[in-house]
């Protein structure tokens, strides 16, 4: 609960790199995430290059604040195991149920990174405001993969107050809907 309560989306970072051992620990937290039938469909691209960060921020609707983060982890769902044809176009409009499961599982692993980062004293923000079409070429991601999110990571240069959440009464149902 401590990390869950402390975590905030951070959009301003100190000019201080993230230590390699912390990066490995973040990836380890993702590796241990649960997934349907233990398929573990996730891959992670570590990005520190200023040029690539700039390109990613650009396709994420030019969210310039992203560039202040020294590290991005791009979280990618690998759906190749269920794709018969490598050329099938997979994007935000794809209806395939299996694809949704792979994306769900990779999202769980991504949230592990967010919480572990909080535990390590790091700030993060999950960014998903981009299209597959625009982000894939920047990182040479094949068509049978789906980018679930870019996680910006670094030491926070801001301490936002908690954003509001719905009350338990608004979201809980007992025994049925
Ligand atoms: C899937 C997902 C996508 C998001 N995409 C963006 C984004 O593109 N840009 C951004 O500034 N924040 C993004 N956020 C952060 C949300 O705005 C933030 O989590 C929400 O407002 C609650 O605030 P908190 O994280 O500080 O509790 C995203 C969060 C999630 C979970």
Residue 176 lies in a domain: no
Ligand 1 atom showing the smallest separation from residue 10 Cα:
26
Helix (H) or strand (E) holding 67: none
Ligand 1 interacting residues, C-beta cut-off 6 A: 8-9, 11, 60, 63, 125-129, 149, 163
- 6-55: pLDDT as tens digits: 999 999 999 999 999 999 999 999 999 999 999 999 999 999 999 999 99
Assign residue 158 the CATH number of its domain.
Answer: 3.40.109.10
Please count the residues of the chain.
Answer: 177
Please give the pLDDT value at position 93. Answer: 76
What was the pLDDT predicted at 168?
A: 97
pLDDT band at 82 (very low <50, low <70, confident <90, very high): low
Give residue 29's domain range: 2-171
What pLDDT sits at residue 151? Answer: 98
Give how many domains the chain has, as a whole number: 1
Q: What is the pLDDT of residues 139-159, one digit of tens each?
A: 999 988 999 999 999 999 999
Separation in Å, CA 62 to CA 53, 67, 123 = 11, 10, 20
Q: What is the pLDDT of residues 88-99, one digit of tens each?
A: 667 777 767 777
Cα(15) to centroid of ligand 1, in Å?
22
Task: Choose the residue to mutate in 75, 125, 161 for probing ligand 1, maximizing ligand atoms within 8 Å of C-beta.
Answer: 125
**Is 53 within the bounds of a domain?**
yes
Burial letters 4-20, b for 16+ CB under 10 A, else e: eeebbebbebeeeebee
Query: Which alpha helices (H) appear in 95-149, and where do they start and end?
Result: 97-119, 132-139
Would you say residue 44 lies in a domain? yes
* Any domain includes 177: no
């Amino acid at each position: 609960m401590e990390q869950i309560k402390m975590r905030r989306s951070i959009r301003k970072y100190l000019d201080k790199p993230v230590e390699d051992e912390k990066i490995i620990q973040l990836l380890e937290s993702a590796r241990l995430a649960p997934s349907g039938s233990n398929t573990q469909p996730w891959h992670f691209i570590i990005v520190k290059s200023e040029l690539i960060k700039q390109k990613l921020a650009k396709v994420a609707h030019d969210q310039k604040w992203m560039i202040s983060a020294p590290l991005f982890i791009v979280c990618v769902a690998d759906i190749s195991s269920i794709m018969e044809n490598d050329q099938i176009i997979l994007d935000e409009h794809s209806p395939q149920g299996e694809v949704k499961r792979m994306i769900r599982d990779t999202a769980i692993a991504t949230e592990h990174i967010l919480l572990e980062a909080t535990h390590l004293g790091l700030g993060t923000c999950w960014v998903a405001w981009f299209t597959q079409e625009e982000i894939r070429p920047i990182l040479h991601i094949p068509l049978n993969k789906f980018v679930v999110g870019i996680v910006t990571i670094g030491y926070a240069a801001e301490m936002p107050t908690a954003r509001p959440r719905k009350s338990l009464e608004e979201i809980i149902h007992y025994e049925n809907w």
